[in-house]
Amino acid sequence: MTAHNSIKIKSPKEIELLREAGKRLASIIKELKRSLTNGITTQEINLRAERLMVQHGVKPAFKGYRGFPASVCVSVNQEVVHGIPGKRIIRDGDIVSLDVGIIYKDYFSDTAATVGVGQISPELQRLIAVTEQSLQQGILQARIGSHLSDISFAIQNFVEANNFSVVRDFVGHGIGRALHEEPEIPNFGPPHCGPLLEEGMVLAIEPMVNLGTWKTNVLADGWTVVTADQKSSAHFEHTVAITPRGPEILTK
């Protein structure tokens, strides 16, 4: 069934499948976060993710998606999103963004988190904390009767009040039987715009927050997005269902 604005409404049965998908994905990213230590390569993180996916009975959502070559995106320091795992070695002081998507019984779930490795600077600790809190601010608006852009506005408002900047070129999205469904969810914009949120909508909300400018560039590999000024970036994401009881984080 579809809402009037082409946003797919999920049935209780579908939400149940998405809930199970989210639970499995949450376990996977928890393990991956634990494995981030000085000396590990980004490719080793990807291989670990693939093993965990097999253990949890799920398939990678990203591998082969529009030609992406890996099962997770691993973005380090000034890399914003879509970092391709490879020979890069993670070092103490780095911040690492893990973006993981899975398929469970034909339903997709998507989550991301940024982790500091070893001792990181207070400035980077703050960047990570503010990005994660901005996601929570956005999720609070994901309730029946809110406008879609209330999520966007809450995120931008919180980030900019903390003197960081919100990436404009990449946005959150609806999710369900496809990795990217309607609507797009920018992390910036005025409140009270766009479609009204309804019970049964499922959204992947994902602020990407930069230390410096919001502007980004895509590297020659066609995937890796970096900050234009080479300053660090953080990224958090949850898959969230809109329910009569308020927002339910499926990837908690």
Instruction: Give the model confidence (pLDDT) of 156-211 as tens digits.
Output: 999 999 999 999 999 999 999 999 999 999 999 999 999 999 999 999 999 999 99
pLDDT of residue 247: 98
Q: Is 4 inside a domain boundary?
A: no
**Packing angle of the helix pair 122-140, 148-161 (nearest 10 deg):** 160
* pLDDT band at residue 35 under the 50/70/90 scheme: very high
* pLDDT band at residue 5 under the 50/70/90 scheme: low
At 218, which CATH number?
A: 3.90.230.10
Q: Is 5 inside a domain boundary?
A: no
Q: How far apart, in Å, are the Cα atoms of 227 and each of 25, 37, 216?
A: 28, 24, 4
Q: Is 183 inside a domain boundary?
A: yes
pLDDT of residue 102: 98
Q: Is 123 inside a domain boundary?
A: yes
- Percent of the chain having pLDDT more than 90? 98
How many structural domains comprise the chain? 1
Q: Is 3 inside a domain boundary?
A: no
Phi, psi of 130 (to 5 degrees): -65, -40
CA 44, CA 94: separation in Å to the nearest integer? Answer: 16
Q: Is 40 inside a domain boundary?
A: yes
CA 18, CA 248: separation in Å to the nearest integer? Answer: 11
Are 213 and 228 in contact by the 8 Å Cβ rule? The answer is: yes
pLDDT of residue 2: 44
Q: Is 172 inside a domain boundary?
A: yes
pLDDT of residue 3: 47
| Structural domain boundaries, residue 231 | 12-249
CA 246, CA 226: separation in Å to the nearest integer? Answer: 35
The token pair at 196 is 């009204």
Could you report the per-residue pLDDT of 88-140, keeping only the tens digit for each?
A: 999 999 999 999 999 999 999 999 999 999 999 999 999 999 999 999 999 99
Helix H or strand E encompassing 12: helix 12-34
pTM over 0.75: yes
Is residue 80 pLDDT above 50, yes or no?
A: yes
Q: Is 149 inside a domain boundary?
A: yes
**Mean of the per-residue pLDDT values for the chain?**
97
